[in-house]
Structure 1
Amino acid sequence: MANGGKDRGSRESRERARLYQARVDFHNGQSRRRTRDNLIAGIAGGLLVVGVLAAQTAYFVSGPGAPAPEPTQTMNPGETPAPTPTETGTPTETPVPSVTPTPTP
């Protein structure tokens, strides 16, 4: 029975090849998984940024952050605007302090 040693070597060789192929397949699977996870995270992050920008825009355009509208005056064509009256107050006089001489001894 001289073939006993060759069968054992052949069997060990097949086992090593099977384990090597399993490690290669596992590594390739991990690489594909990382790539897929990064792609999903990038898309989700991009959607989050777009959502935040849309929410801020909506808040400041039509929500409580929007500026209060100011009333406008409507005019007929050809009409000139009336000047707005300005308040002119009468000037008040401010008393000038008088200088009193100090007695010299």
Structure 2
Amino acid sequence: MATGGKQRDTRAERERVRVYQARRALHVEQSRRRTRDNLIAGIGGGLLILAVIGGQVAYFMVGPGAPVPTPSATPSATPTL
């Protein structure tokens, strides 16, 4: 005769399970997204560092930062007696 209380209890239990599963799914998705974002940031940071190093090397080897060659004194050949 008192089946109304059981239905309410099972309905509340189903709702708790649904909310718990949704929370777990959100947590798993956030964890995946953080992992993906960290990977993308690491790759991007590595590429940025390589570009900066390459720019510095190019500037100081080829560009206006390259050292200007200076003529060196060559010893004159003098005959020895």
Superposition TM-score tier, normalisation by shorter sequence: 0.7 to 0.9
Report which of the two has the higher share of helix.
Answer: 2
Q: Distance in 2 between matches of 1:62 and 1:50?
A: 17
Q: Structure 2: 5+ residue runs without aligned partners?
A: none
Identity of matched residues, %: 63
Q: How many residues align?
A: 77
Corresponding residue number in structure 1 for 2:21: 21
**Greater radius of gyration (CA):** 1
Corresponding residue number in structure 1 for 2:9: 9
Q: Identify the structure with bigger relative contact order (alpha carbons < 8 Å, sequence gap 6+).
A: 2
Q: Distance in 2 between matches of 1:41 and 1:58?
A: 25
Q: In the TM superposition, what is the alpha-carbon distance from 1:71 to its structure 2 partner?
A: 4.5
CA-based RMSD: 2.1
Within 5 A, what are the aligned runs for 1:1-105?
Answer: 1-71=1-71, 82-83=76-77
Q: So what's the TM-score if we normalise by structure 1?
A: 0.66
Q: Structure 1: 5+ residue runs without aligned partners?
A: 73-80, 85-105
Q: Distance in 2 between matches of 1:83 and 1:55?
A: 44
Tell me, what secondary structure is at the counterpart of 1:68?
A: coil
Q: So what's the TM-score if we normalise by structure 2?
A: 0.84
